[in-house]
A and B are shown apart, each in its own frame.
Chain A
């Protein structure tokens, strides 16, 4: 079983071949976006962080930008800095280039304003894209897939069809030696005992339970019932009543493979197989975390119809809700509603999702890529803005 990808010098494999334009601070977003809009085959990452935050979160910003820069879907990276931010721009550049990747930097306060910085950045990016375009796809084994798992705008169909079907697809990737990353720790609440039973050993199981406790304590610290926030108002309209019910459906997308390791947000796994990564459930933060952890493709199940993609990692949308498939057809890639109706088995649907993941990994565009609905991005922060 193979797919066609871009083999990088460090051995990782990209499913896309962009020049990444990475803003290093909220205040540089306009320039990063301005450069990216003018140069084809670039992908722009913007966020709301990088200044007036605690050291814990500044480190998080640095580490996330390093992870994003190292993502194999980026051929090279242009960092766009304002100049006075807390983000360690040089540290980020050095860490990305240590992997053998070309990194350029434009600093708005040094160059002298947005217009000049955009002009300089455009010229740099054009030259980088010319180099990137020389890359060719080669046959790669499924073991080079690093799959991110995500569900969003869930309803009661999510836990019955698309999530268990994605779990089967994830198991197939893991059986072939690939990697699958489960985030969204909020959506383990009430189901963590089942996930912990899947852990490779007791220590990993306890780490899963610790992550859930940390997330639940964080949510409870505001002194309110989290219902309405989790499950969301939309989840409730879709029939999900409690976070426990949502979680029991959500963890099905991790399949039955053992959880081999547990990582903090955005950290690239050091093992191949199924792993857990800390993250909240909200789309921008979890998609960014999965990309920073090195995912080269993301599978995203939805009930009511979540349209979000990510700038440089293809996001495959899977729904089991026939109404959503019909109404949001321009955002959905795979329809497994036949499972709900008893016309398709879960293993059949899982196999179709697995095939779709490999086709998208080989270059077939997702609906999110075609429609340009790819701007769900931000970095998960744990402390206050100060």
Chain B
């Protein structure tokens, strides 16, 4: 199976692009031996993440089945998921 992106755990809401992708491409996202299709909404550089489902502002971002941060705005399925819409919950000296 040729995949364009990888999801590590089924509960993850982001996938990692294994190649650069453009808007309106259909990405085949591999999860173990299965795959799902996600319509890409924005330019996704190699190695960057995109949402595999709609993520609501304030929702946890899951990769490896673990929390890697929190959405600072709604993230549409297929949109680039990175520092512009995800904040870290750790090492936040600015919040203390």
Residues in A lying within 8 Å of B, measured CB to CB: 155-157, 159-160, 189-191, 194, 216, 219-227, 230, 236, 238-239, 241-245, 248-249, 303, 321, 323, 340-342
For the complex, what is the distance from the CA of A239 to the CA of B5, rounded to whole Å? 13
Please classify the interface of chain A as helix (H, G, I), strand (E, B), loop, or mixed, using the class held by over half of its residues: loop
Q: Is A244 within 8 A of B93, CB to CB?
A: no
Kindly list chain A residues whose C-beta atoms are within 8 Å of the C-beta of B95: 225
Q: Which of A219, A223, A230, A239 contacts B82 (CB 8 A)?
A: A239
A243:B88 contact, CB within 8 angstroms: yes
B67 interfacial by beta-carbon distance below 8 Å: yes
- CA–CA, A220 and B89, complex, Å: 12
Give the distance to chain A from B47, nearest Cβ to Cβ, in Å: 4
Number of interface residues of B (CB under 8 A): 33
- Contact partners of A159 in chain B: CB under 8 A: 64
Q: Find out whether the CB atom of A216 lies under 8 angstroms from the CB atom of B18.
A: no
Residues of B that sit less than 8 Å from A by CB: 1, 3, 6, 8, 16-18, 45-49, 61, 63-64, 66-69, 81-83, 86-96
Contacting residues, chain B, for A222 (C-beta < 8 A): 93
CA of A155 to CA of B49 in the docked complex: distance in angstroms?
11
| Residue in contact with A245 in the complex, picked from B1, B6, B63, B92, CB distance below 8 Å | B63
B82 surroundings in chain A (CB, below 8 A): 236, 239, 241
Interface pair A225/B92, CB less than 8 Å apart: yes
Question: In the complex the two chains form, is A340's CB within 8 Å of B18's CB?
Answer: yes
CB distance from A324 to the nearest CB of B (A): 11
Asked whether A242 lies within 8 Å of B64 as measured between CB atoms, the reply is: no
Measured CA separation A230–B68 after assembly (Å): 13
- 27 A–B contacts from the bound complex (CB under 8 Å): A155-B47, A156-B16, A156-B47, A190-B67, A190-B68, A190-B88, A190-B90, A191-B66, A194-B66, A223-B93, A225-B91, A225-B95, A226-B91, A226-B92, A230-B91, A236-B82, A239-B16, A239-B17, A239-B45, A239-B49, A241-B61, A241-B83, A241-B86, A242-B68, A242-B89, A243-B90, A244-B66
